[in-house]
Amino acid sequence: MKLSGKNALVTGSDQGIGQGIALRLAQEGADVVVNYRKNQEGADATCEQIRQMGRRTAAVQADVGVTADARRLVEEAIAALGSLDILVNNAGIEKNASFVDITEEDYHAVIAVTMSGAFFCTQSFARHRQDVKGGGRVINISSVHEELPFPHFTPYCMAKGGLKMMMRNLAIELAPLGITVNNVAPGAIETPINKKLLSDPKLLEPLLANIPLRRLGQPSDVAGVTAFLASADADYITAATIVVDGGLLWNYSEQ
Ligand SMILES: NC(=O)c1ccc[n+]([C@@H]2O[C@H](COP(=O)([O-])OP(=O)(O)OC[C@H]3O[C@@H](n4cnc5c(N)ncnc54)[C@H](O)[C@@H]3O)[C@@H](O)[C@H]2O)c1
């Protein structure tokens, strides 16, 4: 097992990709703190599966879009496991609205959860790793939309693009502390965030036609790469984005 003896926190791990990552890290031997905002049932179910693997775990309620909560989350995760080696910034939300219509409230919500949450969780994590002088791993679940425009989702693209530059800056700034910082950029993954898309063949079929591997991704596709980046196999990888999208981002052809 690649992560024996390591302690991890995964934000937004009560369902979807975050849940898949929490379970995969535990499978690889890590003890894992699960975070949720509202879905305690999902968080408890994730913890139960982690316990069944013989790993330590705890569920911590926190809204990462609120700075005080993001800081408390990292502190409670450290208290629950004794220390933290791995932080996965996964929590994120999107709002579908045209630029002229999006409300101030929705704009701030997307930026707060998807970008600022990762910023302040990482700041608390880096302070902790500085204190214990042990290196560490930060992995942000960004998106192909850290590069690719997505009309009607401008704050989401701004937040994911922000995560790209945060990752590149911190990879340099935190390198002297032995902390690597990388992004995993999923394409279209089958999770509750895509509920509308998944239930509407008129939306789903053109999307599948645009993915060279002709299928949606699964949370396990993202979780495997995240576990790799958290492991010693990735010791020399920092400032990188690994795209997990079945070829979607760079798909172009002419008949
Ligand atoms: N599913 C996709 O196609 C896809 C593609 C690219 C990137 N992503 C990214 O992957 C991440 C996970 O998305 P998902 O597809 O699993 O969606 P999801 O909606 O199933 O999961 C989002 C998770 O974030 C948590 N969350 C939301 N707001 C929060 C808050 N304020 N504080 C703490 N947790 C909060 C939710 O509880 C949930 O666990 C997101 O950052 C998303 O942008 C998803």
Q: Where are the domains of the chain?
A: 7-244
Can you give the pTM of this predicted structure? 0.98
For ligand 1, atom 17, the nearest C-alpha belongs to: 193
Contacts of 173 (CB under 8 A, 6+ apart): none
Pick the CATH number of 7-244 from 3.60.40.10, 3.60.20.10, 3.40.50.720, 3.40.50.300: 3.40.50.720
Confirm if 116 and 67 have CB atoms less than 8 A apart: yes
Ligand 1 atom at minimum distance from 14 CA: 39
Q: How far apart are CA 241 and CA 28, in angstroms?
A: 22
Which tokens hold the place of 188? 């279209």
**Residues with a CB atom less than 6 Å from ligand 1:** 11-12, 14-18, 35-37, 39, 63-65, 90-93, 113, 141, 143, 186, 188-189, 191-194
Q: Are strands 179-186 and 136-141 parallel, antiparallel or unpaired?
A: parallel
Confirm if 174 and 127 have CB atoms less than 8 A apart: no
pLDDT tens track, the chain, 255 positions: 899 999 999 999 999 999 999 999 999 999 999 999 999 999 999 999 999 999 999 999 999 999 999 999 999 999 999 999 999 999 999 999 999 999 999 999 999 999 999 999 999 999 999 999 999 999 999 999 999 999 999 999 999 999 999 999 999 999 999 999 999 999 999 999 998 999 999 999 999 999 999 999 999 999 999 999 999 999 999 999 999 999 999 999 997
Residues in the chain: 255
Contacts of 171 (CB under 8 A, 6+ apart): 180, 181, 182, 238, 239
Q: Which residues participate in catalysis according to the annotation?
A: 156
Burial class (CB in 10 A: 0-12, 13-18, 19+), 194: middle
